[in-house]
Chain A
């Protein structure tokens, strides 16, 4: 769960222009500048919304929202609620939703979007018992988050399976930059089953330092200027390199150390980290954490306009499922801002769209039923398929990539897609559908990685040498849809 914070320009000494530049530079100039402009301009007002609705952010002694430094930013503009900022925002939003008359349907797995000709007009989902429900709507907003659970090591919760990318793709929407997967530099390495668990960037924001097994503060060789607070792509690669070259710990990580900080600072600013590590027998006030990169965020996603319209009428997208805002590397603290800024825009645009007479298309419903019925006759456990996918993605489409590995990974996914998944009980139908979505969406990630024949931001192609940096790249977005795929060529003025 998001822990560290929310970027917003709130102080006179800071400016939206600087936030814009930091975001574009952090994203290796692959970001959609129009979307970035919206993000930085509206982030402050959206944090004020949260405050009006009762969010309990940390405040300064002058009653202003407190801000901490985060990687790749020239001003400490990350607002926070300890290290449980995401939780604080979710509680506030759920509370806000609770106080409205909006009807909420919980615990439904959407298995398909419904269309009326070219327009999306609803969705089909399964409840916990595997019963099919049909939702008809004038507008549908995908706000399904990301999906790094296609990787063996991931920070994501159980819902981070990328269903939104697959649903959008299958409904005909275009997705961009799907190869841009952010590996968070610091994930936990122990215990094995909890590997990948997020260790927030706030640890470094508060002054935490990285050391290899030899005790060397290695960031000096990768980014002597910004050190631990370099951008995530740089720090993740630095850690991965240290480990690959034999300077890692025996658990396969590096050390992240806050023992030099005052104990009270650790206790008040990083309470969740303290509690989590204590549960696994490590007191971070006394000894360093062990960390290694973990798949964290998908920068790519459905192509959207500033009104969060996708390329399919009736379908909107916001947050991590949408692409373009963060380019090739997201700054820590920009995702939470993104959720609020574009969440509001998507909701407004969808809400103001024309109402229509909606009818479910019986042919589509029948096809969905048929697909579900086939799962009863399958023979492969979806859990096995997901595990194979996760291993293949981590090995072949991880931090360092090359065409041969990517092709091989694509082959493995292709094979997995031919298997007939088995739903042992009606409740397992949803699991099978999710596994199917993961395979569709992983394919997009790998194909995007093959389409982008350059290293940029989080995407590194070791088999390609290039003479340009992100700002001077000849390439724009990669794009994939049912009808076309390719990479945009930038027209340099």
Chain B
């Protein structure tokens, strides 16, 4: 037996003006789940506590709640001392009980065809990864888009895709999904990461539905323009001046001893719009003994096409990029754009290893920079945090230069074609970021993705910097101090 102290969200609209948190000290057995903590509170301390549960074995989805902010099933999440237990981010009815009905009702029902045909084994295998949903609504609770715009929600999109794969359904789910907000998804992937059944809604439902929408000519005009540009120029964004590739040598030798060699995949944003950031990164790498090879034939990775469902030209891009690096005999390709990195890692079949710049810098013992007298907050790029599972590395690097103040990891709205396709949503999401940034009191915002950096900088008055730029500033400060010392 062990004693746990927990903090529980309480709200009874009949008696309370405001929700409040209550502390409980409960005794539970080894291995107890959060549900057993709730039972202990209800049975032994406070019978007024309201919460839903049913199967107790992770199969029905009734007991979804949030523990320390993250949606989980109470019956499978192991209870720990000091946790905060809250309802899902849906309208609260009482305590941990929320109103699920509107989102459950938004899930489409199969409309049987006149002629019945059994799905084939292949069809069943395609449907299965989308079928294990237990309707717990963890995805709906976590979806950032739903906080700023109306849409049917991630799991409704999942069901639309499952129905489109099923030969027994007679309805046009694609048109329905478009009407229900298919293009509002920023592909932040939080729905997948919180799903207790690990359903990959962005990749297996949203992007697939967008591809089907593309076949029906339902792609948003702004997205079609991006596709056209990629076909014509190999790039997804306009150039703002001299590009990165135009101003850099094909091989950058480090200043000192060579500790390692990487190929560099620059990506459209850093190449066309923010070349200085990429140049800063090159300086940091050279200073730390990393030789960088930069094939000039590289083009757009295709991420904007995959996210918006326009995959006709994707194969060509993939082949050309892979050839560019293979041709140079490169076995490790570094990305510094979170979107490109996630795409190369997850949507390519690369014959080389793909590694993010944050991983590269931590892999090699980098030179310590000087500390800057600056308080910074870090914005987790979705395609870095969830797309590549990179969470600790950027924080470690940042903490070597400046003081880091955390803020919640929420999508800024720049991904999934939303910035171009549904700009008012992208702006609303960035506005939410601005508020979080403000709360931290940070002087600057640091990130590690050109889309996030570009988008956030338009919505906050704080400077937005890439991690490598801040590191470089730390090195310059160090040099300056050293120079001063030498002068004295």
Residues of A bordering B, CB below 8 Å: 1, 51-54, 56-61, 63-65, 82, 84, 87-88, 91, 95-96, 98-99, 128-129, 157-159, 190-194, 197-198, 271-272, 275-276, 279-280, 381, 383-384, 387, 424-425, 427-428, 431
Contact = CB atoms under 8 A, between A and B. Distances in A.
Interchain residue pairs A-B with the least CB separation, the first 4: A191-B31, A54-B110, A383-B43, A99-B109
B127 A56 contact: yes
A279 B76 contact: yes
Given A88-B131, A280-B31, A427-B48, A54 B169 contact: yes
Contacts of A128: 50, 93-94, 97
B363 to A, nearest CB: 30
Contact of B120 (A51, A63, A88, A192): A63
A60 B58 CA distance: 28
Given A54-B166, A64-B118, 6 more contacts: A59-B118, A158-B54, A191-B30, A191-B31, A191-B32, A194-B75
Binding site secondary structure of chain B: loop
Interface string B9-42: 0000010000000000000111111001000001
Contacts of B421: none
A57 B76 CA distance: 26
A381 B43 contact: yes
B112 A52 contact: yes
B48 to A, nearest CB: 5
A291 B31 CA distance: 17
A194 B56 contact: yes
A227 B20 CA distance: 57
A192 B36 CA distance: 10
B120 A194 contact: no
A192 B32 CA distance: 8
Nearest to B31: A191
Interface residues on B, range: 35 or more
Contacts of A51: 116, 118, 168
Contact of A194 (B44, B47, B57, B107): B57
20 contacts: A52-B116, A54-B169, A56-B119, A56-B127, A56-B128, A56-B131, A84-B59, A96-B110, A98-B107, A99-B111, A157-B56, A157-B60, A193-B28, A193-B29, A193-B33, A197-B57, A276-B76, A279-B76, A381-B47, A425-B47
A87 B134 CA distance: 8
Given A95-B110, A193-B33, A381-B43, A59 B169 contact: no
B392 interface: no
B236 to A, nearest CB: 37
Contacts of A192: 29-32
Nearest to B93: A128
Contacts of B59: 1, 84, 87, 272
B403 to A, nearest CB: 38
A57 B118 CA distance: 10
Interface string B83-107: 0000000000110010000000101
B121 A61 contact: yes
B121 A60 contact: yes
Contacts of B133: 91
B60 to A, nearest CB: 6
Contacts of A57: 124
B53 A96 contact: no
A129 B168 CA distance: 41
B488 interface: no
B154 to A, nearest CB: 17
Contacts of A87: 59-60, 132, 134
B31 A193 contact: yes
A193 B32 contact: yes
Contacts of A88: 131
A431 B42 CA distance: 11
Contacts of A424: 47-48
B484 interface: no
